[in-house]
Structure 1
């Protein structure tokens, strides 16, 4: 697992995991023609190098992106793991940005709304151009362990948004969560993309406690590492495999001018 990426970044990717949105121009054929939301106005400026807080905040039709690098912005906008971003310049991971803007639509924004807004912002303000390819790459496959899953069927409205939260120190609570949402939310805790091979299509409530890599177990009752915790607590198993996966091959991008 990738101990270098923070749990807060995991929360950022978790935010987009609630609903995967296709690349612009590749919508499903049966989808109705609608006008995609965009930022009516947005300010972008470099983050203070000393700043530690990071996050995504949505309030009504206002979006605030706090201290995020472009790799994370792309991961959020397209619901992908950072390892699925290919040929990126170094500054994608080193330069961080503050973005504050208002949507060109009234009312509360949905997760797909925010993803489409970020996609357009990346294209218009960061000059992001890429091509999508499918390559066979190392991934982790989530499967059902011997003995079956240890998951409680959620009693929440299945149409309601999932609720996932934690303390950033190896403890997460999941409510009304699908396996797809769970894996996308945990992407940055691993050093390769996660794929769902469980065959489980319901909504579940469960918790997960683990000891992050690089953290010494403080006592004998400390939880195990991530792989063991998922198997023991959820009845699921993660296997390293190679599988075809979509990647975004970066063709060009530029740092935006501050405004």
Structure 2
């Protein structure tokens, strides 16, 4: 059960939208719980809590996007069982051992495309709902402006309004208007607050007029109109969330109760309750009243009960209370908005699995030696079950062992002592006679490599998520037409390379598959998926960032692209790339668009990284 919850939390943390929704739900639950626990406190306090809640919900998505994420580590299983990426050649700009793509590229492409389609569908549904729920708010504002223009000033009561405004501590000019189409009083306006009264209010008693004006002036003093408009906008943004609508109903009720308390402080409760019932009776024969009307049928019973309850606490919130609420709200946004759930259990490469499992993922024999000059660089296919990795740094080996080279790159492996980039090693190992495969990037082989790194280098790594420059690989043409240098290929690298090697005594077929870098400004690929192409571009110094496949193209492709190389050098330390990535080479951008029909869109986003927590130089064995 705990593992299931952990995986749910990690899924939520991996999605910006789900993360915002989870945080909003947490805020709403806390607010409604606080409301339930403070049933006997003044309505003004409860209303302030709800107003702050809607303010937090409004700011939360913006803050979650613009603030750097803070990793909230949660326990999960060892990364060795989670990262099933495959190893490949690690040569840079060399073509001795072309790099094969991942073993499940077609499935990966489908996975990449499907979530995008579902996400687009959900975002479209959300946007449609938001527009539909915002439309009544906009229409109400337009209707109220028309009513204001057609209303007439109630000159006989302006003196009363000024007097009551001073008593309420309100230092703004408030206009009182009469309108023939109104049935109940209500307040409207931000910069020019206006109280609109029904035309027959001229026939009300002085006490009824005074009670109505006090109620509406309290709305003006509390700035209830702009707060309610903000709350309605938030409701439109979270229209699918039932707790938001529950908070909205409570906010409307508590706002009215706070204004009722202002009336009851200077009026007789029974008389005021009778006036509320009388006004609500008018509304029973017509459409609902505008926002912030004095009477509302839905909450009438609760308001009358509160007015007649002599034990109910009443009063306004002072400056200290408002300031404290603002500080708490800002602190809550600052604390919760950047949180992002990530895998927190030590994703250690130290082999600590049970003995029966360790033996199944370990090389039969292995030697790790300092690099001998002259030995070839890279990881060639297995020959007679022998695994070799020549002229490789530990950072390169970690990247191979803990992720597909087309989805994890050297600048995503950070930390560690200086020698992990400077010292180079030669590894020779025997995978065992029972594993009859030719591909050195087979999952079993890279699992053995992880065990070797844990044993000989005492390696420990952690998985984290950081904000880094990235890019999306998309189609450049709206008609989805591919460029002349990009064409579909028959077959795939998996079928070609994953099986046993052919008999050495027989003529060798052309088993070249993957990427070939023929010079600094020529890229060639055979039987590669779009995800693999995106990964290959990520390793180029001209791109210098993670590239995600967003083309939606399935299957394998052959490609050839030439461009004018700039002054960048692949010798830049991979561990310093990523966070300080240079802009993408304009020459490469132009070549991709004109020759392949593809485009790179640069952006900033969350990127998974591996942090080397501990590593020791190996003893020679």
TM range (shorter): 0.7 to 0.9
Residue by residue over 1:29-80, the C-alpha shift from the partner in whole angstroms, topping out at 9 and shown as x without a partner, is xxxx9x85431111111113x5584111222421111101111112222221
Query: Could you tell me how far apart the structure 1 residues matched to 2:394 and 2:493 are?
Result: 32
Deviates further, 87-96 or 50-59: 50-59
- Which of 539, 556, 573 is matched with 1:188 structurally? 539
Does residue 1:250 correspond to 2:607, yes or no?
A: no
More strand per residue: 1 or 2?
1
Report how far residue 185 of structure 1 moved.
Answer: 3.0
Which residue is equivalent to 1:137? 468
Residue by residue over 1:102-122, the C-alpha shift from the partner in whole angstroms, topping out at 9 and shown as x without a partner, is 103331244223322222221
Q: How many residues were matched structurally?
A: 236
Which residue is equivalent to 1:205? 558
- Which of 90, 94, 97 is matched with 1:8 structurally? 94
Give unpaired runs (5+ residues) of structure 1.
26-32, 216-223
Deviates further, 86-95 or 61-70: 86-95
Q: Is the partner of 2:398 in helix, strand or coil?
A: helix
Query: Could you tell me how far apart the structure 2 residues matched to 1:154 and 1:24 are?
Result: 39
Where do residues 54-65 of structure 1 align in structure 2 (5 Å cutoff)? 54-58=377-381, 59-65=383-389
Report how far residue 201 of structure 1 moved.
Answer: 2.2
Does residue 1:96 correspond to 2:417, yes or no?
A: no
Which residue is equivalent to 1:28? none
Does residue 1:44 correspond to 2:368, yes or no?
A: yes
Instruction: Select the structure of larger CA radius of gyration.
Output: 2
Which residue is equivalent to 1:156? 491
Which residue is equivalent to 2:444? 113
Report how far residue 16 of structure 1 moved.
Answer: 6.0
Report how far residue 202 of structure 1 moved.
Answer: 2.0
Give the TM-score taking structure 1 as reference length. Answer: 0.78
Report how far residue 192 of structure 1 moved.
Answer: 1.7
Over aligned residue pairs, what C-alpha RMSD do you find? 3.2
Query: Could you tell me how far apart the structure 2 residues matched to 1:40 and 1:230 are?
Result: 45
Q: Is the partner of 1:227 in helix, strand or coil?
A: helix
Report how far residue 17 of structure 1 moved.
Answer: 4.1
Closer/same/farther in 2, CA of residues 165 and 191 from structure 1, 3 Å limit: closer
Conserved 8 A contact 1:17-1:184: no
Closer/same/farther in 2, CA of residues 38 and 230 from structure 1, 3 Å limit: farther
Which residue is equivalent to 1:219? none
Q: Is the partner of 2:534 in helix, strand or coil?
A: helix
Give the TM-score taking structure 2 as reference length. Answer: 0.35
Which residue is equivalent to 1:218? none
Query: Could you tell me how far apart the structure 2 residues matched to 1:243 and 1:181 are?
Result: 20
Query: Could you tell me how far apart the structure 2 residues matched to 1:192 and 1:10 are?
Result: 25
Q: Is the partner of 2:545 in helix, strand or coil?
A: coil
Q: Is the partner of 2:551 in helix, strand or coil?
A: coil
Query: Could you tell me how far apart the structure 1 residues matched to 2:607 and 2:416 are?
Result: 17
More helix per residue: 1 or 2?
2
